[in-house]
Structure 1
Amino acid sequence: MTAALEASLARIVRLDPELCAFTDVWHEEARARAEAASRLPLAGLPFAVKGRAGIRSFAARRLAAAGGVPVGSTSVPGPGTPWRTWGQGAHGRTVNPWRRDRTPGGSSAGAAAAVAAGMVDLATGSDGAGSVRIPAAWCGVFGLRTTAGLLPSPDRTGLASPGVLARSVDLAEVFLRQVTDGYAPRPARLPVPAVYSPDLGFAEVTPEVADVTRRAVGRLVAAGAVRLVAGPCELLDPAEAWTAVRAGLPGPPAERLRAANDRTLDALFSRAPLLLTPVAPTPPHGHEGPGDVYSTALTWAFNLSGHPAASLPAGFTPDGCPAGLQLVTDRGTDAELLGYARALERVLGPAPVRSDG
């Protein structure tokens, strides 16, 4: 894997001054680790970590112990911004590899940009409202937020779970296999019964994103990968409840909303194991901010409920921006979720390669 490491470091040197995905790059430390990792399971696989503190995370430590080589820390939002859909790297503001005038999403901003540009094939992330899934969708890579409680998290509210951004579902499974004990793959039996909700009953989704995800679901049905199950998924808008929980003030209104949405999701997963939705309601916005639209509208309900969820590349909007299809399964079924994602990825294709960075 030393050749893979050198290729990763060379690509970072070439591309990061423009993309600004990294806050630090550990050239010599990575080379020293790679020499010692050749006989371990990951055999020197290069990976990036989210934020400067990411090297101390449980997931990063497990990956390194298995022979993965952390090459650097990726950008997250700087202080003082009221929105979390951008990043601040060592060279400046992180940009989307597909369109430099657009944000990569956040808060795992640099992680998604680094994977999309091929600087690494895998990066750790964390997701408290969509911070893995949204940048994965907007950068055209695979992103997984794990079931709440599956992996240790420093977030006392319980909203944030560790996750991964990767070039493929297979690489995400490499991550999950190394950071969990007793992981066993769960191949999907096709067609997978699924409920498709274009808006979860409350979100306003732009026509271009709705079209990309609707066509992706149509391809999955036509290929025999998915069988749509009748019935809507009508959730209550979780914005106020999420905000209350994040502030440490989850009063009775927030708890009532959580309970109502939990009942809806329990009923849904009793009739189908998979829920499909768009990931974000809009394409990636410009660097000035998202305006009045919450990019988290379709993701943060599952942070409140604790379900595992993923973003699978679904295609491109007419302005050249990637969009993601969100996959959600019942709590504790992370292995099943990856099995479904792999089957769907075979139809929709792997993450697109941004060969020029």
Structure 2
Amino acid sequence: MVDQATYLGLSARRIAELVNTRELAAVDVVRAALARLAEVDGWLRAFRDHWPDQALAEAVAVDRAITAGRRLPLAGVPLGVKAWEWPDSPQIRRLRAAGCVPIGATSVPRGTDWQTWGHTDRGPTSNPWRPDLSPGGSSAGSAAAVAAGIVPLATGTDGAGSIRVPAAWCGVVGLKPTGRGRVPGPLARSAADAAAYLGRTLHATWPPVDQSGPPGCALPVAAAWSADLGLCEADARIVAVARSAADRLTAGAGIVWGDLDVRLRDPGAAWRALRDPAADHTEAKAVRARNDAVLSAVFDAVDLVVTPTTPRPPHGHDGPGEHLSVALTWAVNLSGHPAVSVPAGLSDGVPVGLQLIAAPGREDLLLAVAAAATGSGVIAG
């Protein structure tokens, strides 16, 4: 058996290690995840649907495979699946083949517009840190489930910030891979777990996260800080927490700060036009071309751009009002740059996220810097 205290302290990679060596049984790990779900999901409402019978059957199959001599990179790791993703999608098939065990479908919005937050037929998804607040959206349930210790890994999608915003507000790691958000990404307890996930969903030879520094990039790493990307008025409390965490990256992850003023054009109209084939795309193309040129020049000069993940703290269950939670995230959905949100600390008792943005294809750099920072305690997590 796996008691709750033990389960809550296990990363996805540690679970896989213990199951592969038969020090733990996958079925016992999954039972612990289902027990945690039963304990907290009544008020958290992170899951729309639970799959206990299927999960236990798949865990038994994982244990049989290990007994037969197979080694599975994510053996016995309980997984939350974003409800908009079908259980037999290509990435879920890859994760299951690696040993992950899906335990249920996590909450998503109930047909709201692009200002989104999670909902179930039992009510809205709560932020694990403060139930009167939203966990963000649209990967609301996935972030809440990871933050509350139900699962160490969950799937998400990020069309404008739908992984990074809830990751920031729930205090977990959330990665949008290279592209416009159509490639699913992970919500995870750690950068190392996110790397393990990505290694199974993109390709089998994903570079490992090196705690000593970014693989393939000589230290120090050059970075540019921006509180607002020239796009919004960010809350001073959020900026202060994020900037403090960014400054601590200097020692923890070998960051050297470049003197660059990163200013983008508002991507809102271009983002919406991309989703409306009937729209006039003339202005949208101009905005995208200008922002792409700015980002190209920035990444010729530095390796990372660092910002707060969101300009404001979590909103209540009545929604964000006129404020754009995605103001600092959606520009890179248009440009295709990868970005990760990592925990930066707390403001008024709730998490603040720090966003790291890299050049296309440099997820290894993002995750290595994030791992170096969180592993050394530079960023609160």
TM-score by length of 2: 0.86
**Distance in 2 of aligned mates of 1:116 and 1:186:** 22
| Pair 1:159–1:12, CA change in 2 (3 A) | closer
Q: Deviation of residue 299 (structure 1)?
A: 0.3
**Distance in 2 of aligned mates of 1:195 and 1:332:** 19
| Pair 1:111–1:256, CA change in 2 (3 A) | same
Counterpart in 2 of 1:279? 309
| Runs (4+) off by over 6 Å | none
Query: Matches of residues 1-357 of structure 1 in structure 2 within 5 Å?
Result: 1-38=26-63, 39=66, 40-51=72-83, 53-79=85-111, 81-148=112-179, 158-181=180-203, 182-185=205-208, 187=210, 188=214, 189-223=218-252, 225-248=254-277, 249=279, 251-317=281-347, 319-348=348-377, 352=381
Counterpart AA for 2:60 = E
**Distance in 1 of aligned mates of 2:73 and 2:247:** 39
Alignment: residue pair count: 341
| Pair 1:50–1:169, CA change in 2 (3 A) | same
Q: Secondary structure at the match of 1:3?
A: helix
Counterpart AA for 2:349 = G
Mean alpha-carbon deviation: is it higher for 173-182 or for 127-136?
Answer: 173-182
Q: Deviation of residue 42 (structure 1)?
A: 1.7
Mean alpha-carbon deviation: is it higher for 31-40 or for 135-144?
Answer: 31-40
Q: Secondary structure at the match of 1:71?
A: strand
**Distance in 1 of aligned mates of 2:108 and 2:54:** 22
Mean alpha-carbon deviation: is it higher for 67-76 or for 201-210?
Answer: 201-210
Mean alpha-carbon deviation: is it higher for 159-168 or for 29-38?
Answer: 159-168
Q: Secondary structure at the match of 1:134?
A: helix
Counterpart contact for 2:223–2:257, Cα < 8 Å: yes
Counterpart contact for 2:252–2:376, Cα < 8 Å: yes
Mean alpha-carbon deviation: is it higher for 11-20 or for 52-61?
Answer: 52-61
Mean alpha-carbon deviation: is it higher for 178-187 or for 101-110?
Answer: 178-187
Counterpart AA for 2:192 = D
| Pair 1:17–1:351, CA change in 2 (3 A) | farther
Mean alpha-carbon deviation: is it higher for 209-218 or for 242-251?
Answer: 242-251
Gaps (5+ residues) in structure 1?
Answer: 149-157, 353-357
Q: Deviation of residue 110 (structure 1)?
A: 0.3
Q: Secondary structure at the match of 2:161?
A: coil
| Pair 1:159–1:250, CA change in 2 (3 A) | farther
Q: Deviation of residue 6 (structure 1)?
A: 1.1
User: Residue by residue, what CA displacement relative to the aligned partner does 1:190-219 show, whole Å, maximum 9, x if unpaired?
Assistant: 432111111101211001101110111122
- Identity of counterpart residues, as a percentage? 48
**Distance in 2 of aligned mates of 1:103 and 1:7:** 26
**Distance in 1 of aligned mates of 2:209 and 2:74:** 21
Q: Deviation of residue 224 (structure 1)?
A: 5.9
Q: Secondary structure at the match of 1:114?
A: helix
**Distance in 2 of aligned mates of 1:34 and 1:43:** 9
Which protein has the larger Cα radius of gyration, Structure 1 or Structure 2?
A: 2
User: Residue by residue, what CA displacement relative to the aligned partner does 1:322-356 show, whole Å, maximum 9, x if unpaired?
Assistant: 0100011111112222112212223445774xxxx
